[in-house]
Amino acid sequence: MKLSKWIGLSIATAVMFLAACGDGQESAGNVENSSGTYAIVAKSTGNPFNEKQIEGFKKAIEEQGYQVIEKTPDQPTAEQQINIIQELITQGVDGIAIAANDENALQPALKQAMDQGIAVTSFDSAVNQESRQAHVNQADPKAIAVAMMDAVLDLAEGEGQFAILSATSTATNQNTWIAGMEELMAEDEKYAGLELVKIAYGDDLRDKSTSETEALLQSFPDLRVIMSPSTVGIAAAAKVVQDKGVSDNIKVTGLGLPSEMAAYIDNDVCPYMYLWNPIDIGYMTGYLLTALAQEDISGSVGETFEAGDLGTKEITEAPDGGTESLLGEPFRFDSSNIDEWKEVY
C-alpha cells in the first residue's frame, strides 16, 4: 500500500479514535440509530499493536453506522477471553472479532456464539478452524518466516547463536512463524551456520520480556541476534541491549512498531525490522465481520468482500484447513524510511 494511503487511513482513524468514548478496558462507540453491534476482543491491555488494531476496527464499524464494543482482558489468558465471549453472547452482539490467546481453548465459547447466530472471525492470532468463519491474516506465514530467518542470517553475518523472544507459548501467530523458521533451518543449507539456542516467552508483557532478555544475555554470552516476533518483545529487547551497552555484539530484529523502534533503528541496536499496518488489520477485520454477519459471504474459499478504503479482498484457504483473507506482505523498516513511518503508527 502506498504511504499516502496508509497515512490517510491512519489520520482518519486517529480522529475517530479521539472522538470516541472509552474506559480503557471496555468501550462502546456512540453511534445514533445503529442497527448492529460488533465486538473486538484483543489479547490484553497495554499491547500497543492491539491498540492500533482496535483503532482500525472502530473506524470500519463506525463508518458503516454500527456500534462498537471493545474488550481487552487484563492478562493474555484464554480464561479471561472465554469470560469476555460469554458476556458478549449474553449481550446479544451481532459479531465477535478476536485475537486468540489460545487457538483451541476458546472453541466451546465461540461455537456457542456461532450457534446463536453471532458472526465470528479471528484476526492476527487465529482460533482453530472450528471456532471461526474466517480469519484475517496480516501476511503469508511462510513469507514472514523467511523474512525473519534472512534477517537473523544477515545480522549474524552468516553464523552464530540466536534466540527468539516470543509472546505467549500458546500464541497462534507467533508459534506458526517460529515453526516456519525452524522448518527453514532444517531444510535450507544457507542457515546451517546458525544455532537457535532458546525460544523465550515474554507473554507480550513489557516487564517479563525485559527479564527474559536479561536472562538470555546472561545465559548465552556468545549470542549474536535476538529475534522477537512481538511488538512488545522487540521493544523490550532493544532497550535491554542498548542499556547494557552490548549492541556492537548483539543485534535485535523482528516485528515492531515504527513509533516505538525508531530510536533503536537510528542507533543501530535494531538495524531493521518488519511489520504491516496494524490499523489496516483491524479495519479489514471490521469489514469482514460485518460481511459475515449480514450473510453477504459465508467465509468460503473464493468469496470476496468490500473492505472500505482497502478495496476488494478475497477469502482463501488457510494453512490450518480453514479460511482466511490476507492483508499483504511484511514491510521492511530501516534507517531509510523510519522517520516517515514513525509518525504514522
Q: Nine-digit cell at 271?
A: 538495524
CATH number of 3-137+277-328: 3.40.50.2300
Helices 278-293 and 3-19, packing angle to 10 deg: 70
Strand pairing class (160-166; 323-326): unpaired
Tell whether the torsion through CA atoms of 174, 179, 182 and 184 is positive or negative.
negative
Residue 2: per-residue pLDDT: 37
What CA–CA distance (Å, rounded) separates 107 from 122? 12
Nearest CA among 160, 155, 149 for reference residue 229 = 149
Region 8-34 average pLDDT? 40
Residue 266: per-residue pLDDT: 98
Mean pLDDT of the chain: 92
CATH number of 141-275: 3.40.50.2300
What CA–CA distance (Å, rounded) separates 264 from 322? 38
DSSP-based three-state secondary structure for 146: helix
Percent of the chain with pLDDT over 90: 88
Residue 34: per-residue pLDDT: 46
Predicted TM-score (pTM) of the model is 0.82
Amino acid present at 123: F
**pLDDT, tens digit (0-9, with 9 covering 90-100), for 78-118:** 999 999 999 999 999 999 999 999 999 999 999 999 999 99
Nearest CA among 162, 134, 177, 132 for reference residue 299 = 134
What is Dmax (Cα atoms) for the chain?
62
Residue 22: per-residue pLDDT: 35
**pLDDT, tens digit (0-9, with 9 covering 90-100), for 189-246:** 999 999 999 999 999 999 999 999 999 999 999 999 999 999 999 999 999 999 999 9
Q: List, by residue range, all CATH 3.40.50.2300 domains of the chain.
A: 3-137+277-328, 141-275
pLDDT band at 344 (very low <50, low <70, confident <90, very high): confident
Decide if pLDDT at 18 tops 80.
no
pLDDT band at 14 (very low <50, low <70, confident <90, very high): very low
